[in-house]
């Protein structure tokens, strides 16, 4: 059986979005470093409460299952914007290659800032949301932003701490590093993504894998070097977080340690009443796209409850 045209099936895009009371648009944004693909999901027939700027995880893009999160927030009354990371989806770059994570964050941030400061949205509360490695990159965006830019942060299984079982080999990274950058784009690092408690629902795993724009090759040397460097950096700078945040993690996440979310909760200088840590017992890495529907409903309810309440005080 051929894969579906869209993650939801064969219903044409316009028809599907209309059934969800959402309007979608697509465009490209030129940054100083690259041209990136961007999308928006806006609620129909209701006022916009706030803006949410979303970043997908490694190997993924904004056009497949990740947009289930985007659509949900739009249905709740939020204007949602997302960009494919450099080297992912329809953005420029070598597939699966993030040779400079700070630059990757800056590329998406340039688009987000343009929208955030636009006449239409500059008075609304604005949030950054990131999933998995997208959570790590989202944190870098926050650190790169001027104070007061963001009203809050939202993380789903953020990759702040790498589990030892899937941590990129320091020996390999050091060895390839001795080649003075020649090996940076090589897709030779072991594949750490599947089979390590990432997706619990097998049928949903099949849909994730069917993504025609998913990077399916081995991890590239430079991407893994930057992954390690990025996690080290954010762990040393969590105390710089001062805005409200929501972070969610499955306790059996095999791809990003729940201790990363716990560390953020303990070290951030955000007022205690504006911190929210949700740990889901027995759940894996992909809380929205990989768990049974009843778990997905629970996570979404927690996310909606938090943002609906926090916009009343920011």
Active-site pick, 29, 88, 249, 285 = 285
Q: Return d(Cα 72, Cα 56) in angstroms, integer.
A: 15
Distances in Å between the Cα of 123 and the Cα atoms of 7, 120, 189 are 34, 8, 45
State the DSSP code for 32: S
DSSP string, 59-102: T--SSSTTHHHHHHHHHTTEEEEEEPPTTSTTSSSSTT--S-HH
Write down the catalytic residue from 91, 249, 253, 261.
253
Using alpha carbons only, how large is the chain's radius of gyration in Å? 18
Nearest Cα to Cα of residue 84 among 199, 70, 217, 150: 70
Residue 296 to residues 117, 156, 204, 280, Cα–Cα distance (Å): 32, 12, 12, 11
Write down the catalytic residue from 40, 91, 132, 261: 132
- Nearest one of 83, 88, 111 to 99, comparing CA atoms: 88
CA distance 195 to 69: 23
Helix, strand, coil abundance in the chain, percent, nearest 5 = 35, 20, 45
- 132 part of the active site: yes
- Active-site annotation holds for 285: yes
**Chain Cα centroid distance, residue 201:** 20
List, by residue number, the catalytic residues: 132, 253, 285
């Amino acid at each position: 059986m051929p894969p579906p045209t869209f993650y939801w099936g064969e219903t044409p895009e316009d028809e599907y979005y209309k059934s969800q009371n959402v309007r979608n648009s697509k465009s490209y944004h030129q940054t100083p470093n690259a041209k990136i693909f961007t999308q928006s999901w806006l609620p129909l027939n209701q006022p916009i409460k706030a803006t949410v700027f979303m970043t997908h995880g490694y190997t993924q893009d904004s056009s497949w299952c990740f947009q289930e999160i985007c659509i949900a927030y739009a249905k709740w009354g939020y204007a949602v914007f997302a960009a494919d990371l450099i080297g992912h989806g329809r953005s420029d770059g070598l597939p699966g290659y993030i040779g400079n994570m700070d630059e990757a964050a800056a590329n998406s941030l340039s688009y987000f800032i343009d929208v955030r400061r636009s006449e239409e949205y500059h008075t609304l509360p604005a949030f950054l949301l990131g999933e998995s490695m997208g959570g790590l990159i989202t944190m870098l965006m926050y650190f790169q932003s001027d104070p007061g830019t963001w009203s809050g942060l939202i993380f789903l299984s953020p990759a702040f701490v790498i589990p030892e079982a899937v941590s990129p080999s320091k020996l390999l990274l050091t060895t390839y590093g001795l080649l003075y950058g020649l090996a940076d784009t090589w897709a030779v690092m072991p594949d750490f993504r599947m089979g390590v408690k990432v997706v619990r629902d097998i049928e949903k795993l099949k849909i994730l894998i069917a993504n025609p724009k998913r990077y399916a090759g081995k991890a590239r040397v430079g991407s893994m070097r930057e992954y390690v460097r990025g996690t080290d950096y954010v762990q040393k700078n969590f105390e710089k977080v001062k805005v409200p945040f929501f972070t969610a993690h499955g306790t059996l996440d095999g791809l990003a340690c729940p201790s990363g979310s716990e560390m953020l909760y303990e070290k951030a200088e955000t007022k205690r009443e504006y911190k929210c840590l949700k740990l889901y017992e027995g759940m894996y890495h992909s809380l929205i796209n990989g768990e049974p529907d009843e778990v997905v409903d629970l996570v979404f309810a927690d996310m909606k409850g938090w943002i609906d309440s926090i916009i009343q005080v920011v």
